[in-house]
Structure 1
Amino acid sequence: MINLNLPKYSFRIKSKENKLYIFDKVRKKDLVLTEEEWVRQHFITYLNEDKKYPLSRMAVEKKCVVNNMAKRTDIVVFDGMGSPYIIVECKAPKVQITQQSFDQIARYNMTLNAKFLIVTNGLQHFYCQMDHEAEEYRFLKEIPDYA
């Protein structure tokens, strides 16, 4: 797999039936190792090990309903009250991050109302803080550490 613009981490990877699998620490199961999953697992580990967000506050591929359609968010981090705090949209490294990527996560956030949004392809990371009253977001250099 490609090196990402994130710290290097060790993962539990195994081969089964000519496919590689990576262990997801949040869902506690092995998943087929796709390029997008590689980014997702790195970002989960980054949030947990570097930013100190507990794994117990994370959900992966959480279902949400947008315009009467079921969608799945890549990563949601919840605050102490159980409300969505951060939404992360992961793309494969070869997928360019475009306005469409931001529109997608913004649609999810219309339902979830998180304070922070992150869009990443593992090489580029965009961090945004929501201003729900003004219905806009502003870009940040970093996502805040867990407090």
Structure 2
Amino acid sequence: MVAIFPIEDPNEPCPAAAERALTAVSDARTRMAALNRQRRAMGDPAVGYGIALHRGEFTYGNIGTARRLDFTVIGAAANEASRLEGMCRQLGQRILLSQAFAGSCRQPLRSLGRHRLRGVEGSQELFTLADAGPG
């Protein structure tokens, strides 16, 4: 799933979009915890998930034909967010934040060190929320 939180004023030190994204993450964590409690009570395995937050420019919209139209996000930032989400399992974290996103939020964060993302030049410091335990 992809969620977009448009930044209205890119010069804001902590854009409202970052706050909205973090609120959505908090809501998702709460709902996943409730779902997994229900699943365990029924003897079913928990559902795993990974959430990646990144800040960057991209293009989005409907792409396709009249027979098959898909909403999608394209661009380097979209690719980087996807690669970041793919690192959740590798790093044992449910929530990862890029260096670009971390620089625009006030929430307490915990550094996970520098990592290379597949298909992204160089390495970058990755973060998780300070209150987020391992995945």
TM-score normalised per structure 1: 0.27
TM-score normalised per structure 2: 0.29
Structure with higher strand content: 1
Q: Of the two structures, which has the highest relative contact order with CA contacts closer than 8 Å and spacing of 6 or more?
A: 2
Q: Greater Rg, structure 1 or structure 2? A: 2
